[in-house]
Copies of this chain bind each other. A is one copy, B any other.
């Protein structure tokens, strides 16, 4: 089977950069999608050679050419970005939502309420039905992802709107060395995964570390 073409939207951002780099290291055809393709091209030229994407592109063309679109843009902008670009998705595209709706309420980091239930369902609601949606890469620490020499050594939780979506997202996670995919079921489970991200960040702050992440014991 040919390798899928993976567009990482927001691929020069906090979580997106390391994800694009690790997927490129895995040998996948990676396109970094950005609002400004020229600026993205300048950014990725600074990356270590083996971590550079195949190319950079504006959102619309990155989406149009992709088999898998990874959403690594901030949660706050993902809705409007999808509404502006929904016509560009091929019907069979798998969208992998990486966003987490973090917010600070009364000085305490928490998850923002999302009317649809989770960020992944927020994404699902803004895409044409034939496009498939899964959630993954929500808990692996950005700093660790973006440091290609350090082992990831953790599990990544995957959920999705169909068994096929989950299967494809599981394969994508498995392509990244050091990540074990854990299928946790239907798309609304994304909310639980987003809570895990919150816990990881809380643990980082409280225990003065930067790469708290999870492993499942017993499987």
Contact = CB atoms under 8 A, between A and B. Distances in A.
A137 B184 CA distance: 21
How many monomers of this chain does the complex have?
A: 2
A180 to B, nearest CB: 12
Nearest to A198: B192
B110 A188 contact: yes
A192 B189 contact: no
A207 B219 CA distance: 7
B211 A184 contact: no
A199 B203 contact: no
Given A110-B188, A206-B183, A196 B193 contact: no
Given A195-B192, A196-B196, A199-B196, A215 B214 contact: yes
A219 B185 CA distance: 28
Contact of A216 (B144, B182, B192, B212): B212
| Chain A facing B: main interface SS | mixed
Interface residues of A, number: 38
A202 interface: yes
A153 B192 CA distance: 22
Interface string A199-213: 110110011011111
B188 A203 contact: no
A90 to B, nearest CB: 29
B214 A108 contact: no
A64 interface: no
Contacts of A200: 216
A154 interface: yes
Contacts of A111: 192
A124 interface: no
24 contacts: A108-B188, A141-B218, A144-B218, A153-B217, A157-B199, A182-B203, A183-B207, A184-B199, A185-B206, A189-B198, A192-B196, A192-B199, A196-B199, A203-B219, A207-B219, A209-B219, A210-B218, A211-B217, A212-B216, A212-B218, A213-B218, A214-B214, A214-B217, A215-B215
